[in-house]
Amino acid sequence: MKKSLRFGSAIAIAAAASLTLASCGFGGGTGDGGDTSGKTTLDLLVPTYDPDNTQGNWETVIDGFEAANPDIDVKLEVQSWDNLESVIATKIQGGEAPDIYNGGPFAGFAADELLYPAEEVVSAETFSDFQESFIANAEVDGTAYALPLIASARALFVNNTLLEQAGVAAPPTTWDELLDAATKVSALGGGVAGYGMPLGSEEAQAEAAVWLWGGGGTFGDADAITVDDPANLPGAEQIKKMIDAGATQADPGSTDRSPLMDIFVQGKIGMQVGLPPTVGQIEEGNPELDYSIVPIPTQDGSPITVGVMDQLMAFENDGDKQEAITKFLDYYYTADVYVPWVQAEGFLPVTKSGAEALGGEEALQPFLEVLPDAQFYPSTNPAWSATDAAFKALFGQIQTKPAQEVLTEIQAQADAG
Amino acid sequence: MAVTAPAFETIPAPATSARKRRYTEDQVPFGKVLVRMVAGLIVLLVFILPYVIMFFGSVKTKAQIRSVDPTYFPTEWHWENYINMWSTPETPLVQNLISTIIISVFATLLVLLVAMPAAYYTARMQFPGRMVFLFLVIVTQMLQPAVLTSGLFRQFVTLGMIDTWAAMIFINAAFNLSFAVWIMHSFFAGIPKEVDEAAQIDGAGRLTVLFRINLPLVWPGIVTAIVFTFVACWNEFAASLVILSTAGNQPLSVALTKFVGQYETSWHYVFGVSIVAIIPVVILFMIIEKRLVGGLTAGSVK
Amino acid sequence: MSTTTDASSIPEAGAAERRPRSGGPAGTDAAKPRKGGRELLASLPWIGPALILIFGVVLFPAVVMFYNSTRDISISGLDKGSVGFDNYIEVFTFPYFWPIFGRTIVWVVVVVAATVVISLGLAQILNKAFPGRRIVRLAVIIPWAASVVMTTMVVYYGLEPYFGIINKFLVDVGLIATPEGYGWTRNPETAFAWSIVVAVFVSLPFTTYTILAGLATVPGDVLEAAKMDGAGPVRTYFNVVLPQLRGALSVAVLINIINVFNSLPILKVMTGSIPGYDADTIMTMIFKYIQNQHKVDVASALSVVAFLIVIVIVAVYVKVVKPMKEV
CB-CB contact of C311 with B139 (8 Å): yes
Which one has a higher pLDDT value, B128 or B299?
A: B128
AA letter at A46: V
How many A/C residue pairs have CB atoms within 8 Å?
141
Check pLDDT > 90 for residue A249: yes
Residue of C nearest to A18 (CA): C56
* pLDDT value, residue C43: 82
Contacts (Cβ under 8 Å, ≥6 apart) of B71 = none
Higher pLDDT, B190 or C67: C67
pLDDT confidence of residue B27: 65
CATH number of the domain at B91-299, please? 1.10.3720.10
- Each domain of chain A, given as residue ranges in start order, spans 40-152+308-376, 155-295+383-416
Q: Which of A7-11, B102-106, C47-51 has the highest mean pLDDT?
A: B102-106
Phi, psi values for residue A270, rounded to 5°: -70, -50
CA distances to A60, A412, B217 from A236, rounded to whole Å, are: 45, 17, 68
Residues 30-49, chain A, touching B (beta carbon < 8 A): 30, 43, 47-49
Mean pLDDT of chain C: 83
Q: C151 to each of A11, B81, B155, C146, C282, how far by Cα in Å?
A: 35, 20, 32, 7, 22
User: Is the per-residue pLDDT at A12 higher than 80?
Assistant: no
Confidence class for position C35, pLDDT limits 50, 70, 90:
low
Is it the case that residue C315 has pLDDT exceeding 60? yes
Interface residue of C46, C67, C68, C75 to substitute, partner A, most A CBs within 10 Å: C75
- Whether pLDDT at C21 is above 50: no
Judged on CB neighbours under 10 Å (0-12, 13-18, 19+), B191 is: buried
| pLDDT of C53 higher than 70 | yes
> Is the per-residue pLDDT at A320 higher than 50?
yes
Residue in B67, B149, B266 nearest the CB of A266 = B67
Residues C221-276 have pLDDT tens digits of: 777 888 788 878 888 888 888 888 888 888 889 989 999 999 999 999 999 889 99
Q: Which long-range contacts (CB under 8 A, 24 or more apart) does C137-140 make?
A: C137/B289, C138/B282, C138/B285, C138/B286, C138/B289, C139/B43, C139/B44, C139/B47, C139/B48, C140/B43, C140/B47, C140/C204, C140/C205, C140/C208, C140/C209
Contact A290, C311 (CB under 8 A): no
The pLDDT score that the predictor gives to residue C301 is 95
Question: Which residues make Cβ contacts (< 8 Å) with residue C68, sequence separation at least 6?
Answer: B147, B150, C296, C297, C300
CATH 3.40.190.10 fits A155-295+383-416, yes or no: yes
Q: Answer whether residue B84 shows pLDDT above 60.
A: yes
Q: Among B151, B223, B289, whose Cβ lies nearest the Cβ of C137?
A: B289
- Smallest Cα distance from C197 to chain A, Å: 21
Give A76's strand partners.
A44
Q: Would you say the C-alpha torsion B68, C189, B274, B257 has a positive or negative sign? A: positive
Rg (CA), chain C: 25
The complex's ipTM works out to 0.82
Between helix C296-321 and helix C86-93 the angle, nearest 10°, is 70
| Of A15, A90, A202, Cβ closest to residue C53 | A15
Mapped onto helix, strand or coil, the DSSP state of residue B250 is coil
CB neighbours of C52 closer than 8 A, spacing ≥ 6? A11, A12, A15, A16, A19
Question: Is C1:C326 a contact under the CB 8 Å cutoff?
Answer: yes
- The amino acid present at B154, given as its one-letter code, is R
> What is the three-state SS of B33-97?
HHHHHHHHHHHHHHHHHHHHHHHHHHCCCHHHHCCCCCCCCCCCCCCHHHHHHHHCCCCCHHHHH
- Note the pLDDT tens digit of each residue in B211-249: 777 777 788 888 888 888 999 999 999 899 999 999 999
What per-residue confidence (pLDDT) applies to B10?
31
Q: From B154, which residue of chain C is nearest by alpha-carbon distance?
A: C61
CATH superfamily of the A40-152+308-376 domain: Periplasmic binding protein-like II (3.40.190.10)
Q: Report chain B's mean pLDDT, rounded to a whole number.
A: 82
Compute the nearest-CA separation of A389 from chain C (Å). 5
pLDDT at C320 over 90: no
Mean pLDDT value across residues C203-211: 91
Q: Quick count: other Cβ atoms within 10 Å of Cβ A125?
A: 10
- At the top level of CATH, the class of C91-321 is mainly alpha
Instruction: From chain C, pick out residues whose CB is under 8 angstroms from the CB of A254.
Output: 183, 185-187, 273-275
- In whole numbers, what is the pLDDT of chain A averaged over residues? 88
| Average pLDDT for B150-166 | 92
Give the pLDDT confidence of A344-383 residue by residue, as tens digits. Answer: 888 899 999 998 888 888 888 888 888 877 899 998 888 8
**Which CA distances in Å does B257 have to A81, C159, C209?**
9, 21, 30
What mean pLDDT comes out for the span B106-133?
A: 89
**Whether pLDDT at B8 is above 60:** no
Contacts of C74 in chain A (CB under 8 A): 108, 111-112
Give dist(CA A386, CA A416) in Å, integer: 8
Read off the pLDDT band of B291 (50, 70, 90).
low
Q: Could you say which residues from 187 to 206 on chain C have a Cβ atom under 8 Å away from some Cβ of chain A?
A: 187
Could you tell me which residues of chain B have a Cβ less than 8 Å from any Cβ in chain A?
62-63, 66-68, 89-91, 110, 113-114, 149-150, 153-155, 157-159, 162, 170, 207, 211, 241-242, 245-247, 257-266
Instruction: Residue window 145-204, chain B: list those with CB within 8 Å of chain C.
Output: 145-152, 154-155, 170-171, 173-175, 177-179, 181-183, 185-187, 189-190, 192-193, 197, 200-201
Check pLDDT > 70 for residue A5: no
What is the Cα–Cα distance from A221 to A82, expressed in whole angstroms?
27
> Which subunits have 3 or more CB–CB pairs within 8 Å of chain B?
A, C
* Choice among B145-159, B187-201, B261-275 with the minimum mean pLDDT: B187-201
pLDDT at residue A35, rounded to an integer:
44
Contacts of A141 (CB under 8 A, 6+ apart): none
Pairing of strands A147-153, A139-140: unpaired
pLDDT confidence of residue C5 = 33
> How high is the pLDDT of residue A391?
95
Domain spans in chain C, listed from the N-terminal domain onward: 1-54, 91-321
What is the mean predicted confidence (pLDDT) over C163-182?
A: 88
Q: Which residue among B149, B246, B258 places its CB closest to the CB of A51?
A: B258
Asked if B301 contacts B19 with a C-beta cutoff of 8 angstroms, the reply is: no
Q: Pick from A152, A158, A113, A161: which is nearest to A134 by CA?
A: A152
3-state secondary structure chain A: CHHHHHHHHHHHHHHHHHHHHHHHCCCCCCCCCCCCCCCEEEEEEEECCCCCCHHHHHHHHHHHHHHHCCCEEEEEEEECHHHHHHHHHHHHHCCCCCCEEEECCCHHHHHCCCECCHHHHCCHHHHHHECHHHHHCCEECCEECCEEEEEEECEEEEEHHHHHHCCCCCCCCEHHHHHHHHHHHHCCCCCCEEEECCCCCCCHHHHHHHHHHHCCCCCECCCCECCCCHHHHHHHHHHHHHHHCCCECCCHHHCCHHHHHHHHHCCCEEEEEECHHHHHHHHHHCCCCCEEEECCCECCCCCCEEEEEEEEEEECCCCCCHHHHHHHHHHHHCHHHHHHHHHHHCCECCEHHHHHHHCCCCCCHHHHHHHHHEEECCCCCCCHHHHHHHHHHHHHHHHCCCHHHHHHHHHHHHHHC
Strand, helix or coil for residue C84: coil
- What does the DSSP 8-state code read for residue C276? S
Instruction: Give the closest-approach CA distance of A103 to chain C in angstroms.
Output: 12
Min Cα–Cα distance to chain B from C173, Å: 14
The amino acid occupying position C196 is I
Q: Which chain A residues have a beta carbon less than 8 Å from that of C276?
A: 393-394, 396-397
What is the value of pTM for the model shown? 0.85
Of the candidates A200, B235, A413, B262, the one whose C-alpha atom is nearest the C-alpha of residue C271 is A200
| Chain B contact set for C231 (CB, 8 A) | none
Residue B3: list chain C partners with CB under 8 A. 219, 221-222
What tens digit of pLDDT does each residue of A26-63 get? 333 333 444 456 789 999 999 999 888 889 999 999 99
* Distance (Å) from the alpha carbon of C303 to chain B's nearest alpha carbon: 6
How many angstroms separate the CA atoms of B188 and B184, rounded?
A: 6
Nearest to B159 among A21, A51, A257 (CB): A21
Taking only the tens place, the pLDDT of each residue in A127-176 is 999 988 889 888 888 899 999 999 989 999 999 999 999 999 999 999 99
Question: Is residue A331's pLDDT more than 90?
Answer: yes
Instruction: List chains adjacent to chain C, taking adjacency as at least 3 C-beta pairs closer than 8 Å.
Output: A, B
User: DSSP H helical segments within chain B, as ranges?
Assistant: 15-25, 30-58, 62-65, 80-84, 93-124, 130-139, 145-158, 165-188, 193-201, 206-208, 219-234, 238-243, 252-255, 267-299
pLDDT, mean of residues B132-144? 85
A257 at interface of B, judged by CB pairs closer than 8 A: yes
DSSP summary character for residue B229: H
pLDDT of residue C30: 40
- Evaluate if residue B300 carries a pLDDT over 90: no
* Set of chain B residues whose Cβ sits within 8 Å of the Cβ of A157: none
Distance, in Å, from the CA atom of A289 to the CA atom of A267, rounded to the nearest integer, reads: 7
pLDDT of residue A39: 86
